[in-house]
Structure 1
Amino acid sequence: MGVFTVKSAYNLLSNLNLERAATGLSSSRVHQWELVPELVWKRIWSLQTLPKIKSFCWRVCAEGVATGDGLLSRQVPIDPSCRRCGANRETADHLLLECPFAKAVWLDSSLSYKPPTNQVPKFSDWLNSWDSLYRQNKKVARESLSHASFLCWYLWRARNDYVFNTKNWTPQEIITVAERAFLEFHATSASGHATTFTSYCASAATINWISPPVGYRKVNCDATLRNRSSKGGLGFIFRDHRSYQVKAISIPHHFKLAVRGEAIVIRCALIEAVAVGFANLQVESDCKEVIDYIHDQNQHPLYEFSTIISDIRRLSSSFDFISFRCIPRAMNGISDALARKALSIMCMTDWPNSTPWLHDLCESEALGCTHTIL
């Protein structure tokens, strides 16, 4: 009598499929999961993530997720369209990669990923495409894919809450919860490879500053404060998808708290962006406290800068798209230099593109610039 194992059952079923294919007895309908490369299945089960998320990713590739299209294919009388954007078929691929809501989550996350628009993205192809990053830096690829898996999971959670009228998540809420879960998972992982927000961002920083997509501007903001003094400096720089400087400004300013200065410089950058007419803006700062206050309206900032946070939220409505992201200080070098320059000037200075020291900094950062992490 033989001994049953899951492996032996898997091998038996695999052999039966091969035999049916060889004898021409297989079904005329080819399932999409049959075309998924073996590498993708291996990548799913080797993901550094929660078991339930591995299972979810496997079900996405195996066409086993209860989306509108998935339920309709199982003879469930249901409207298969996407509840968020109205697309005709709500597939798992659409839900995770194609829906405008999902694209906003990916673009605004620290991965700054932009799904392709020239074709309908497939989740299995997306997993397969990570090969190039794995070849460049396996550690960064492993951590980034782990982070991405949590974004996928919470996109699915948010979809279910939306469909069943439990909660209407915003893209930023998904990003915040997914990132927190990702960091908690790695901090408590039995493998011992604990990851903090700082170390994760430092890994991303090895790929350097990330340029915005075409049609967007990115502004990096920073503030500095002299020791035992209220004299401070603000600095921010706008750049386009080619990493070219669009506008770089230094402003001398008086404030007693560094965090207040970090909030003021973001407000100044938004006022400038509105004046210039930028419609799509990505805002980056190395002050996590201020970014958290902007994102979470349930948090109540200190009185000293609560009105500034309110101003930032009001100004945000002036844009077609705006995102706020905390980055490590190593990725915010030019705005830091602009803030320090403000300590030695008397009034606001709009630095021309030809300024030698600024030109050299921008050129140096652009040489290592990454247009997408994936």
Structure 2
Amino acid sequence: MAKLGSEMKDDNQASPSSSTSAEHGFDATLWRKFWKAPSLPRVKEVAWRVCVGAVPTRLCLRRRGMDLDPSCPVCGHEEESIDHLFIHCPVARGCWFVSLGVRTDAGTSTFMDFMAAVLRNKDGWCIAEVQRMIYCLWEGRNKVLFELREPGCATVLSRFAAMESPSQLGTNGNQVDWSVVKWSRPAAGMIKINVDASLGGDLLAGFGMVARDEDGEILAAASHYPTVATSATMAEAFCLRWAMELSSQLGFRRVQFETDCLQLFHAWKKGVGRSPLFSLLQDCKTFVQLFDCVEFTFTRRQGNTCADFMARNASTLSNIVWVEEAPRVYVAFYRQIFWLLCRL
């Protein structure tokens, strides 16, 4: 429900704290990175309109002659400019830090400075996450203004976690039919451990894992609930740490952990800056030494169906480990789906 204006650009840029994209070196290369990011089209459009100053902030509308209070509807502390709403507002600062580990109160003077740094230094998946947070901040502001919702980080973070993530999209940001994807066998002598997390609107996450050998036979299944997580990626990282520790306790030595979270997979392979996610991944990598052989792979959700089932039902399955079997509630699902998707 991101309400947008079509001719707000000049008035937003008239703000003393605002500036144009050209002044920050936004050349064609940076804009190509912006548009190639694997975000939903509506998310990209909102983020682009914010970048070019084409959103109807209250300060903008006041300058266009409307008789209204220009104060930020979210915090009420300052006039609602683009820079304030997306960078300096206490709610925005909290959301950026909790979700992505970004400190917008540390040397970031304007929104365009922030976006220029993101486009120059981050890859497409990180840019997509930034675009998604911009969308959620604007949507959250509109809910406060038009639906009289309570302002705060919780609403924005809940929406950010619930929105479709780039890992569910193709490289061009379009939805892809992955119905042909299925579970694949690990190498001989390896145990594949599929892991997944399910994050609810209350920011409580459930975890699921299923361990299988090269023949597809279940060696163990487990669920865990609840853990507080501020984003879907953080929930997946918590889940991986839990699964690695549990796998070590079960005596698995040659393991292949598989996730359907592409952000987590990229963060594991390429690393991330100092952030809550960085700390979690460091914890995970300390567990590597507990195994003789460790691999970390990515699959689409259709190849992770069993772990997804365990995660989504973690609140009812309780914190139980089933060794060399599956939980009884899982049997019907196993018979109907597992043999279709998980056998070669």
Structure 2 length normalisation: TM-score? 0.45
**Structure with larger Rg:** 1
Give the structure, 1 or 2, with the largest relative contact order (CA under 8 Å, sep 6 or more). 2
